[in-house]
Structure formats: C-alpha cells, structure tokens
Amino acid sequence: MASCLLIFKHLPPFVGRVCRRMSCPTRFAVRAFATTVVRSHLHRAEGSSSLGLTGKVDRFGGVTVNLGDSGLPPDISESLFSTILRDSLDQWKAEGKVAVWLIVPISLSRCAAAASTHGFTFHHAKHDHTVLALWLGDGENRLPAFATHQIGVAGAVVDESNGKVLVVQDRNKTKNAWKFPGGLSDPGENIGTTAVREVFEETGVRSEFRSLLSIRQQHNHPNAWGMSDMYIICRLSPLTYKINFCTQECLRCEWLDLADLAKTSHTTPITSRVARLLLHGLEKGFDTVDLAMEELPAVYSGMFYQLYHRQIPSTPKS
C-alpha cells in the first residue's frame, strides 16, 4: 500500500480518486494502470488521435513538444515520464518522424534527465526553459546547431560638408583608441536600427542609416563565450551635431577629420581601414563603397527581410 501511495502523488487528482477505490495487489499493476490513465488524460487534453505526448509537426518531418502545454502533472516522476516518452517515441518512429524537439520548462527539469536516457541531448537553453533534441532519421544527424554568433554594430556618422566623422574612446578598454560608437544588436533588431540606437546612446547625436560598409568575422572570440563574433560597420548621416556622450561608457567623443583618423596610430586597424574607405567615398561618391539596403517580402507570409548589396545600375530605356 505504501508503494501505491507514492504513485498517487504523481498522478492527476482524478486518477488518485479512481486508484483509491481499487485493490492494489502489486506496485507494477498500479503503475501500469497509472501510465495508461495519464496517457489517456494527455490524449484528451491535446485532442490527438494517438496516445502519449503530442506536438507540432514541422515541414521537415520533426515534432516539437512543449511539456509546459502537454497536460503533464506538475509533479510527475522521472520514471512515469520516461514511460510516456518511450511510448511516444515508438509512435513517432512508426509514423516516420525524423526528429523530436522537447521544450522542457524549468519547473519540469526532472523530465530532461529522463529524456537523456532515451538519447536526447541539450540543444539550447533560455531564461525559463531548455530545449532537447533527438535525431530519429536515417544516417547522420542533420539537425541545425543553435545560434553561435553575436552581432556587434557600429555607426560611422559622416558629416559630408566638412569630412568629419564621429568617434569615441571606450572607458572599458586598456588602450584609449578612437573607434566608431556601437554595441551589440538586440534579438530581432535590424542592423541599421542598432547602429542608430547605439550612436545616440553613446554620443547623444541623432542620425539616420545610409548603408553597410564592412563586416568582420572572428571565431573563438573571448568576449563571446568562445563563440563567433560578427562586427558590422554602417554609414550614417547626422541629424544633430551636439555631443552629449555617456560618461559611463566613453572617455572622450569628438568630430574628427577622416584624414586624421585614417593615419593616426591611436585607433584600431579596422577603424583606420574603414576611415580610408570613407575618404574614398567622399572623393569618388559613396555609391562606390556603399552596400545599400532593400527590404523585400520573405517566403513566409507577412514577413520581410533586409538585403544588403551594391546598387544595380539602372538599364537605360531604349
């Protein structure tokens, strides 16, 4: 009877009421009954035609299961969840599914340990959940890896009337080198928006996006948890000129001649090179250096993407 009571605490309330009216000759009989009832409960909650866990099937033949929405009892045991998961995996394999994504809220972390015994591995984690993955298809695992890059964006604000550019010296650097103001792009934020925002936050100068100038890629970056870092520099035009820089982030902020920035030793190699690029643009026209942005409709309905490229020469009409 003690074993039965232990099982009751891991079942939905209606299951406990049914079990208490039953005779319990063995622990295994009650566990089998409990598993069946919980699976039936999940089936009714999700409206599925099959027993066990249900999820959304993607266009690649994978299944995504969010345990937070699955109807599992909040205190389900590892062993009971393992049984339900095993039966679900058998069903998905029979249906020819190629992969399973398991979203595990932090409140059900014990389910991650149970899933690991079936071959699931961690894919990524966020604030309140982790995602596990299991490849079921033939051959080599073809699941995509989690995002491995951070995106840094800087804005080169060029005053075309006098050839000056807005630069700062970071307070948190060991070397006081001139550089373009910038910072990390927020999730879901466009490159140009990041550049304009970071310039204003650091310098107090308002600007507008003109083009993308350069992209630097660096792997095993020590400030990106050993991942890869993308550093993008955009060309901006000033809307205001008065400097009111953030003293918490910057030691200095000035409008500096591009010619001086291109040849000074008090800057970074990439800043010096982009300064020379901007000088070329001032002399020959920025259409010779700009990667302009065009927003185009994506294949996903109602969504758009930003495409950066050199302007395509217009074909003269005959």
Give the pLDDT means over successive 10-residue stretches in the chain (318 positions). 43 42 46 49 42 86 94 92 96 96 96 97 94 94 86 97 96 83 93 97 98 94 83 98 94 96 93 97 95 89 88 68
pLDDT of residue 189: 94
pLDDT of residue 180: 97
151-180: b or e for each residue (b if 16 or more CB lie within 10 Å)? bbbbbbbbeeeebbbbbbbbeeeeeebbbb
Tokens 């291109």 correspond to what residue? Answer: 262
pLDDT of residue 159: 98
Nearest CA to 132 among 151, 158, 110?
110
Determine contact, residues 140/219, Cβ cutoff 8 Å: no
pLDDT of residue 146: 86
7-40: b or e for each residue (b if 16 or more CB lie within 10 Å)? beebbbeebbeebeeeeeeeeeebbebbbebbbe
Determine contact, residues 295/305, Cβ cutoff 8 Å: yes
Distance CA 157, CA 160 (A): 9
Two tokens, residue 227: 């991942």
Residue type at 215?
Answer: I
pLDDT of residue 318: 52
pLDDT of residue 30: 46
Structural domains of the chain, with CATH? 2-135 (3.40.630.30), 149-299+301-307 (3.90.79.10)
Distance CA 215, CA 231 (A): 6
pTM of full prediction above 0.85: no
Distance CA 204, CA 237 (A): 14
Two tokens, residue 20: 């208490």
pLDDT of residue 222: 81
What are the DSSP E strand ranges found in 258-303?
Answer: 292-297
Neighbours of 135 (CB within 10 A): 17
Q: Are strands 149-159 and 164-170 parallel, antiparallel or unpaired?
A: antiparallel
Distance CA 190, CA 270 (A): 22
Taking each helix axis from N to C end, the angle separating 27-46 and 13-20, rounded to the nearest 10 degrees, works out to 140
Q: Is the dihedral of CA 120, 126, 127, 128 positive or negative?
A: negative
pLDDT of residue 42: 52
Rg (CA), the chain: 29
**How many Cα atoms within 13 Å fall on the side-chain side of residue 186?**
6
Determine contact, residues 268/236, Cβ cutoff 8 Å: no
pLDDT of residue 9: 44
Name the helix (H) or strand (E) containing 281. helix 269-284
